[in-house]
Amino acid sequence: MKPRLSPFAAVLFLAGISSVHAAPAQNAQNQCITLKNISITDTVITKAEWSNGEISADRMSSLTGGSTNVLQSKPHCVVEGEIGARTGADGKHYGTKFQLRLPENWNGGFLFQGGGGVDGFVAPAVGSIPVRTYTATPALMRGYAVVSMDGGHPTPTPNFGADQQARLDFAYQSTGKVTAVAKHLIQKMYAVAPKHSYFMGCSNGGREAMMAAQRYPLEFDGVIAANPGFRLSRAAVAQQWDYQQFMKIAPKDAQGNKILANALTQADLDKVSEAVKNRCDARDGLKDGVINAWESCDFKAEHAGLSPAKTAALKAVMDGARDSRGNQIYSGWYYDVGMNQSDWRKWKLGSSQTAKPDSRGVTLGAGSLTWYFMTPAVPNFDLSKFDFDRDTPKTYQTGAINDAVSTDLSTFRARGGKLIVITGVSDPVFSAKDQVAWFRQMNADTPSAQSFSRLFMIPGMNHCGGGQAFNDVDPLTLLENWHGSNHAPDRMIAQGKSFPNKQMPICAYPKVATYTGGNENKADSFECR
């Protein structure tokens, strides 16, 4: 006997010959509402409502790359819930909260939207391109079912590090839990499983994306990791290194307090950016403010013409964190034109003219290091006294579960998975040089890596967008064409507000965009070489 289909499933079956799974509006609304009563182990569904499309702005956009504007979508179902609610070792409430949006006209795809910062919030599940300067259509508006989550703790603060399971959830386990629940709800809504599953995120969301490929290779068919904090434990140590180096030269106010923000003035950073441009800009065949040949740029701190003290501090920072024996703790950084941009200052120096620094490296990095990355947590640790010999090893335990450093992607590759990594050469928080080193090693360790992986380095771009760069890109379309139609991308066409009425190809590493003649504003005037 053939199994009987429900009326809703029958509609979907008949529509299955097309790429869109559509149902009469009333059927879809009714099916949405029934999801509130779905029984899923260790999961509570708190909301299942029909939405006519308006979606609030992402209040944490600076950390996620999400939209800062109210968005309009077509009708869809909004499901919210919590997985694994419990009381932690610190007596506080924990659980992984999520939001899943299920469009009436579904394209058969599922997209997991990564978080940002230390998570602790549920961003609107719209599947925004994870580079905040994007203009491309978000995934939800393309017909994807999209899920977002809070990483297993309720506030965007790092004190969840007091609980063992909360550490594990933030590191990677929440991704697995939410994926399983989201796919179950998709099956219930549409009566079919997703045809393909993607993960896309920036910053910590980019780390989560890389973790999806590394720890859940059977769950995802495609991953987009933008400016990923994949070696987050070491980057947190590097932020303290930067702080200490800059504080050595920070001038004092009238009360004798050192002011971190004034260690390098805006004029200093402008001078560095201009000096880098003068030395390396023309190496791609065109002097246009974009250093496409960034890897061959041989700029040194001494070339900027700063004072000896400022030169020494800049060199120490750009060479990367080291122990007393000179051993590298965290990667060095590329010199690039984006070093004078606001985002670079926000992370490295801040703008506070008081004794209390406001750089994100201090305000975000300090708490993360003491509560989460150090084992055991040391909340009252004086980071001005962080010892790079004695204290760095205290981060190794968390690094082992948190850092997305695996270079074995053999299962992900064998299943046809595709990986796209995007990084700004001028990222001030996660080193582009470190990302390149990982990509090279992954290519060496995973056979046929070029068949499934691409790295796109965006000159001048800061963290998750911004900078003086061609920072308006659409990697999701690249992934769709690659995974869906086997069109392997060798370039990504980009634009940016810093360069109006101009397009530039961002070439797949190790090739770079090289000017070959013709209209400088046209992407086809450049070749990837």
- In 3D space, the residue among 78, 93, 100 whose CA is nearest the CA of residue 178 turns out to be 100
Which residue, chain included where needed, has tokens 């969840």?
Answer: 160
Distance CA 259, CA 249 (A): 9
Dihedral of the alpha carbons of 236, 239, 244, 248, in degrees to the nearest 10: 180
CB 476 within 8 A of CB 422: no
CB 293 within 8 A of CB 301: no
SS3 state at 426: coil
CB 233 within 8 A of CB 398: yes
The structure tokens listed for 317 are 């920072």
Distance CA 31, CA 331 (A): 51
CB atoms within 10 A of CB 356: 12
Q: Catalytic residue, from 67, 203, 368, 453: name it.
A: 203
Which strands, in side-by-side order, build the sheet including 418-424?
A: 43-51, 76-87, 93-103, 145-149, 109-113, 196-202, 222-226, 418-424, 453-458
Number of alpha helices (DSSP H) and beta strands (DSSP E) in the chain: 16, 15
Write phi, then psi, for 115 (nearest 5 degrees): -90, -145
Distance CA 207, CA 115 (A): 9
Distance CA 471, CA 290 (A): 12
Count CA within 13 A, CB hemisphere, residue 29.
8
CB 58 within 8 A of CB 125: no
Distance CA 116, CA 503 (A): 29
CB 261 within 8 A of CB 350: yes
CB atoms within 10 A of CB 168: 14
Q: What is the pairing mode between strands 54-55 and 71-72?
A: antiparallel
Distance CA 17, CA 9 (A): 14
Distance CA 7, CA 10 (A): 5
Q: Catalytic residue, from 273, 463, 483, 498: name it.
A: 463
Which residue, chain included where needed, has tokens 């530039």?
Answer: 504
SS3 state at 452: coil
CB atoms within 10 A of CB 340: 23
Q: Is 427 a catalytic residue?
A: yes
Catalytic residues: 203, 427, 463
